[in-house]
Chain A
Amino acid sequence: MMKKIYFREWDLESRSYWMLLVVLAAIAGIGGLAALYMEHNGHWVTGMNNQIVWGTPHVFAIFLIVAASGALNVASIGSVFNKTIYKPLAPLSALLAIALLLGGLLVLVLDLGRPDRLIVAMTTYNFKSIFAWNIILYNGFFVIVGIYLWTVMDRKMKCYYKPAGVTAFVWRLVLTTGTGSIFGFLVARQAFDAAIMAPWFIVMSFGFGLAIYMLVLMDVFKRDKRPLGDAIMKKLKGLLAVFVAANLMFMVTYHLTNLYATENHAFEAFILVSGGVYTALFWVGEVLIGGLLPLAILFHPTLSLSRGWLTAASVMVVVGGWMTIYVIVIGGQAFPMALFPGKTILESGFYDGVNGMIASYTPSIPEILLGIGGVAVALVVTVIGIRMLKILPISLADEVADPHASV
């Protein structure tokens, strides 16, 4: 019989809490100033140009948005699939999902050419555009996950818990499908025009979101000394390993499918062999840091029992995941479009991949600061959320959390 689980606000000592908040807010503020600087001058101060039109801010934004939907998974396993051990984890899962989405969207919006016209994007829709659908999906996500969080935390709302949980789960799947489809529908670019982008993004979201969830869970529990037992961590660790493996499988499938068609050989050679920084990021970032190394740790009989190694594996999934998005988004644009199949462009007044030349892009400091600012916003929201609301269980010790523990 499982013990009753109580939730309480994060009771980190006041000084440490405010210090943490000030540091995070300062990072977020610097990101805001960077956005202001880029907006005031125009995008010429960034590394972006007419060839690489989506730069580092998009990498951060897409990573955070994908991770947001993944962070909700922990809650969904409890609410939709009735796994009791995950139920106490649900409030933090929902809060993180909202926080990460907010951070990602802020970066996305502040990188627009005209962020002052956000109201236009909210009021004038082209329903053929997956971007327009995403605006609705993102806004809906806030509302639905907000309601779900309410049903989890308020006893009076208990009767709506299940429908809210199922709706949130379905919505998050549709949302990530929408994010992946931004690329899936781009017929002109060899890197993107693939139906697998949508399910691949969903699988990536599982891994990124869970890795961030585990990092936050371990950190906030450690900071105010709440017990966090191995039973929960074992479950999460196993789940993360499955997600990382699934991500690797989708990545391999994507590249093998491309390799099957001769027309894509040049693009694949670029990513896998000759693409310089993109090839390095692919093998070292996407395959090694984001895939094989964390898998080795997570499946290792002794290392996977250590919190330090679990933290390292989660950090690797996050860093490797960021690099994966970088290779997809920026590597995909750097490879020249096939304007004239069967012909080589000898000269061009607009950098059309002369003699197969790759488009140049170097991330600028303001772009990176804006992206990091988005991460900081997500953490600020999380920290304030757990401090103000009863999000965290008082204990997740094995005898409390594990339904099979012998007490």
Chain B
Amino acid sequence: MNNSQDTNQKRRQFLLKGAAVTAVAVAPGVMLHTAAKAKPLGDAVTDAVRWGMLVDAAKCADGCDSCVQACNDENGLNLLQKPQGASDEMWDEQIPKWIRNVKVKDNLTGHVTNLPMMCQHCEEPPCVDVCPTTASFRRADGIVMVDRHLCIGCRYCMMACPYKARSFVHEVVEHKLTRAPRGKGCVESCNFCVHRLDDGKTTTACQDACAKDGHNAITFGDLNDPGSEVSQALKEQSSTQIRADLKLNTGVRYRGV
């Protein structure tokens, strides 16, 4: 009898301890989840938000490539190894680049500008128009990206993009990050660090890197929210779209170009 009472007592204690451990382990997750107010991953994005970016070329420092490096790190682009036997020159022309530095000179005035170029996240994206399989698509929140399950690697979107923003994966991808799945034979491009946004964050890797270096040339946020930093900055001063003549209503705007 005593024995069975002892056993019950021990069981009760075990269950209590177990419950306490579980509570300690789970509670922070629940609390954090609530604090971050992230959109549940299962919910569809809506057009209540339009993600956009302002690049102030006047603040873009000559010779700086922090945004490029940050993008490569964030999306695992630099995990690709040069295939054995590939020439350095060819490899550099074939390796995917989602963002690049460009230095341009005005033909008349001689004014020189540095700026980062990436997918401009058009409202009317030519890449989406031409894609035969709907792999190229524009999310309701304005992000233009590639569905890697539908992409057949025809590269028609690369022919159509006026910004040369897309890259083709020319080699076997042996290492990749879980947050940025990719593979040989598909097309890819900047997606505004969509994994961060879907995780409740509100900045891109390039923006963070630029700010960390003290340049603050990149402002990112919700164009539909009049109170957002990017909306305020765009309202305050004039900005331009690259190839505005194509009337694509880009989500990336530039100042000082």
Chain A residues packing against B (C-beta within 8 Å): 39, 41-44, 48-51, 53-54, 112-115, 117-118, 120-121, 124-126, 128-132, 134-135, 182, 185-189, 192, 333, 337-352, 360
Contacts and interface: CB of A to CB of B under 8 A. Distances in A.
Contacts of A188: 126, 160-162, 243, 246
Nearest to A329: B159
Contacts of A187: 126, 160, 162, 246
A50 B112 contact: no
Interface in B124-160: 126, 128-134, 150-156, 158-160
A338 B172 CA distance: 32
Interface stretch (B8-16, B100-108, B199-207): B100-108
Contact of A112 (B95, B100, B117, B154): B154
Nearest to B93: A49
Contacts of B95: 50
A348 B102 contact: yes
Interface stretch (B26-34, B37-45, B180-188): B180-188
Contacts of B90: 44, 49
Q: Closest 5 interchain pairs by CB?
A: A113-B153, A113-B185, A188-B162, A349-B100, A131-B132
B170 A44 contact: yes
Contact of A131 (B97, B126, B156): B156
- Does more than half of chain B's interface fall in helix, strand or loop, or is it mixed? loop
B251 interface: no
Given A44-B90, A50-B168, A114-B186, 4 more contacts: A44-B171, A126-B133, A333-B159, A350-B117
Chain B interface size, under 10 / 10 to 19 / 20 to 34 / 35 or more: 35 or more
B52 interface: no
- Does more than half of chain A's interface fall in helix, strand or loop, or is it mixed? loop
Contacts of B245: 341
26 contacts: A41-B83, A41-B171, A42-B83, A42-B185, A43-B94, A44-B86, A49-B170, A50-B93, A113-B151, A113-B153, A113-B169, A113-B186, A117-B151, A120-B150, A121-B133, A125-B134, A126-B133, A185-B129, A185-B130, A188-B160, A339-B117, A339-B243, A341-B243, A342-B107, A343-B107, A352-B117
Contacts of B107: 342-344
B35 to A, nearest CB: 39
A339 B257 CA distance: 12
Contact of A352 (B102, B108, B126, B171): B102
Contacts of B105: 343-344, 346
Contacts of B94: 43-44, 48-50
A70 to B, nearest CB: 23
Contacts of B257: 340
Contact of B108 (A182, A186, A342): A342
B132 A129 contact: yes
